[in-house]
Structure 1
């Protein structure tokens, strides 16, 4: 079985320059038949990757999709996750904080509006720890993200393939794509997407920490607005 140390990252990143995301995913499916996982927040880029995996490539067994239920998603997001699960018959694995099971219970245990008083703890509890637990329980060798270089200046130099802090491969098949290319693919293939995108939410995260994006703003300007943050801590 392939392990994360089986691959020459420099050679792969050279090989994938200019490649279609479909080809990068096809390589991943062939090279990592066990331990390949897609992590998804069900933003439009994530669903494009799911469409490539589940409609076009259709590996057997299907690639597991790991979703983090932070307990603070928009209702529209949770409804859309269910729609995507039904549409693609996803092998969906949902992970969340262990100690509580609702937003109200979270507030009672950790304080009201923890995202304002201690956003780092908020993200650790709702995203970072559940993600690490999910990746471990799914025996992940490599995980697929929907990140693109043009989403933020902090992602401008992102490679196609890298290693996370635990040594797993992290595969970014859309690294060189633009938002325009993603939406062109969605239109061409009639890919479903979160309706919040039509209401000005270019990048959709937790409801308390996500606002619509104005004309001329960066795609991720609506995340953590006014807080001086660009990442939640998952992609460090």
Structure 2
């Protein structure tokens, strides 16, 4: 029988995530992604902010595994990315021939238009609304339009205390599978992989930005600080809302 997205969803819903987490707890990310490509041939999507961890996953998918159906890569254009990030997205798309899917706020194309519609520096007055408009709604729309069964993140357990017990396979609130192939990796391992495979990366990583988000609310990180300390500094936030 030829599988449709509907029959594939039924198959995925029957997966035993506890068993998968036990099986792959000590696996290399390429093993985890290879299993996903084989067992989730449709509706498998990567979400990427084009940080080094995201690009490790992209490199494995597009250079090493090369599935017959390229895995779509969702990028959220918040309108507030650093210029270096946007240039990196362009370069990576060209190098890997990415199936890039960009999602943003509907009908708003510039920072000026965003400010006119929602006020100046919305991230200072209502950061939850800012993230809902620029990230959460566009991502959910993208996942729905792509009929997503399972989606990949670049999160690692060692990035923050809130991620310390994160499983490799989990279920999101829409009953899709969320795959965290780097869960058991470290920052050091990601950079070692990047060096070994001569990957491109965001030059801001060399300027004190281990985690890069929107320009107005991302700052360099001092020695000894958590690598995500420069995100939303002073707000008390540890996540933008996508992974809550």
TM-score tier after normalising by the smaller chain length: over 0.9
CA distance, structure 2, for counterparts of residue 231 and residue 17 of structure 1: 24
Matches within 5 A, 1:33-48: 33-48=41-56
CA distance, structure 2, for counterparts of residue 39 and residue 128 of structure 1: 12
> 2:185 — aligned with what?
177
Deviation string for 1:113-137 (max 9, x for gaps)? 0000000000000000000000000
Q: Does 1:50 align with 2:58?
A: yes
Matches within 5 A, 1:98-137: 98-137=106-145
> 2:78 — aligned with what?
70
SS at match of 1:94: strand
Matches within 5 A, 1:84-233: 84-233=92-241
Q: Deviation of residue 99 (structure 1)?
A: 3.0
SS at match of 1:67: strand
CA distance, structure 2, for counterparts of residue 86 and residue 200 of structure 1: 27
Q: RMSD in angstroms over aligned alpha carbons?
A: 0.6
> 2:15 — aligned with what?
7
> 2:243 — aligned with what?
235
> 1:61 — aligned with what?
69
SS at match of 1:143: strand
CA distance, structure 2, for counterparts of residue 126 and residue 17 of structure 1: 33
SS at match of 1:129: helix
Deviation string for 1:193-235 (max 9, x for gaps)? 1111011100000001100111000010000001100000000
CA distance, structure 1, for counterparts of residue 95 and residue 111 of structure 2: 27
Deviation string for 1:13-35 (max 9, x for gaps)? 00001100000000000010000
Q: Deviation of residue 6 (structure 1)?
A: 2.4
CA distance, structure 1, for counterparts of residue 69 and residue 22 of structure 2: 29
CA distance, structure 1, for counterparts of residue 108 and residue 72 of structure 2: 24
Q: Deviation of residue 61 (structure 1)?
A: 1.0
SS at match of 1:98: coil
SS at match of 2:170: strand
CA distance, structure 2, for counterparts of residue 20 and residue 183 of structure 1: 15
Aligned residues: 236
